[in-house]
Amino acid sequence: MENTQFSVTVEKDEQGFENSLSLAKAIYKVLDHKNGEDLAVMRVGDKIDLTDYFVLCTAQSNTHVKALTDEVEYQLEKIEIKADRVEGRGSDNSWMVMDYGRVIVHIFSREMREFYNLGYNSLFIVILMSFFIGALLCVQIKINIWAPWMPRFTIGYAMREVILLEFASSIICIILAGKIGPNIASEIGTMRVTQQIDALDVMGVNSASYILLPKILAMVTAIPLLVTFSIASGFIGAYVVCWAGGFLSLPDLTYGLQHDYVPWHLWSGYVKSFVFAFIIASVSGYFGYTVRGGSIEVGKAGTNSVVVSSVLILFSDLLLTNLLMG
C-alpha cells in the first residue's frame, strides 16, 4: 500500500531525455522515504565524463541496503526508467551500485561506509610513507651498517625484517592512531555534545553498540589490509632506490628479500595489526563517547585518544612480540 501511495517524477529535456539533476533528486526522495541515512547528491559532471551526479546513501543493515535498492528500482520503473546495471547484488548485500547513466547511486551499509571512511581514506598516506621508508632503510643500511666483509644481500634481508616485524604493523598503526583516532573521537564527541547520543538512548537504542561497533569492525578489517599495502610499498621503494642509486643490484636485493624467510614473521605482523586496530577504535570511541562539555572538550578527547592509543600500542607491541616471537 505504501508503494502505491508514494511516487516520484523526473523532468525531461528538449530532446526527451531524463534531466540528470531531476533524476538525482527523485532518487534522493525515494531513499529518504525509505529511511536512508547520510544522503548526499554530488555534482561531478564538471570533473569527470563518467556521469553527472553521484547519489550517496548509508543503510542501517544489509537487509536495508537491498530494500533501498529494490525501492529505487521499483519507483523508477513505474515511470519507465531502468538501471543500466546494478552491482553488488548476489553478494552479502553490504553495498550496491546502481548505474542510471548520468546518475550513479552508491548504497552502503554502515559498516562498509565506515570501512571506506576510515580505511580507504588512509591508503594514500600509508603507501607514501611506506614507499619512502623502504627506500630510506636500504640507503641507511648501505651507508651505516653494511661492511665490505658482509654479503651484499644483507641489505635486502635487514630491510625485509624491519618492514615485516615492526614498521608495517606497529609504526604504521601508531601513525594511523594519529590520523584516524581524532577523527573517531571528534565525530562521536560531537554527537555527544549535540545530544544525538542522548536521543538514541531515549529511543531505546543501544547507542554504544550502534555507534562504536561499526567503527571497530571497520578498523579490524581495514588496518590488516593497509598493512599489506605498507609491506608491498616498502619493497617497491627499496627496488626503486636500488635501481636509481645503483648501489645494489636488483638480483642481490631480491635474494636478500627471500633469504631465510620465516612466514610467521609476516603472520605475526597481521596478528598485531588486529590488536592495534581494536585499540585505536575502542580507545578513540571511548574518549569521544564519554565527552562532557562543549567543543573544547571534543578537541581534548581527540588529543587524549592519540596519546593513550599510542602508549597502548607500544605496550601491546612489547607484550605480543614476547608472546609471538619468544
Same domain for 27 and 126, yes or no, is no
CATH number of domain containing 31: 3.30.460.10
Count of domains for the chain: 2
Rounding to the nearest 10 degrees, give the CA dihedral for residues 135, 141, 142, 143. Answer: 110
* pLDDT of amino acid 240: 93
d(Cα 114, Cα 119) in Å, to the nearest integer?
8
Write down which residue in 68, 85, 109 finishes a domain.
109
pLDDT per residue as tens digits for the range 130-183: 999 999 998 888 888 777 788 888 888 999 999 999 898 899 999 999 988 898
* pLDDT of amino acid 14: 59
Same domain for 246 and 304, yes or no, is yes
For residue 222, being part of any structural domain is answered with yes
Same domain for 84 and 195, yes or no, is no
**282's grid cell:** 575502542
**161's grid cell:** 625484517
Written as one letter, the residue type at 157 is: Y
Domain limits for position 72: 2-109
Alpha-carbon distance values, 18 to 53, 187, 204, 311 (Å): 13, 38, 43, 56
* pLDDT of amino acid 1: 42
Same domain for 98 and 154, yes or no, is no
Provide φ and ψ at 183, rounded to 5°: -60, -50
* pLDDT of amino acid 4: 52
Same domain for 234 and 195, yes or no, is yes
**134's grid cell:** 623502504
CA quadruple 305, 308, 313, 319: dihedral positive or negative? Answer: negative
Predicted TM-score (pTM) of this structure: 0.77
Provide φ and ψ at 12, rounded to 5°: -120, 150
For residue 10, being part of any structural domain is answered with yes
Give me the count of residues in the chain: 326
Same domain for 94 and 46, yes or no, is yes
Same domain for 130 and 266, yes or no, is yes
For residue 246, being part of any structural domain is answered with yes
* pLDDT of amino acid 13: 65
* pLDDT of amino acid 312: 95
Contacts of 318 (CB under 8 A, 6+ apart): none
* pLDDT of amino acid 2: 47
pLDDT band at 319 (very low <50, low <70, confident <90, very high): very high
pLDDT band at 271 (very low <50, low <70, confident <90, very high): very high
Same domain for 310 and 185, yes or no, is yes
* pLDDT of amino acid 15: 57
Rounding to the nearest 10 degrees, give the CA dihedral for residues 97, 183, 62, 75. Answer: -50
Give DSSP secondary structure letters for 254-280.
HHHHHTT--HHHHHHHHHHHHHHHHHH
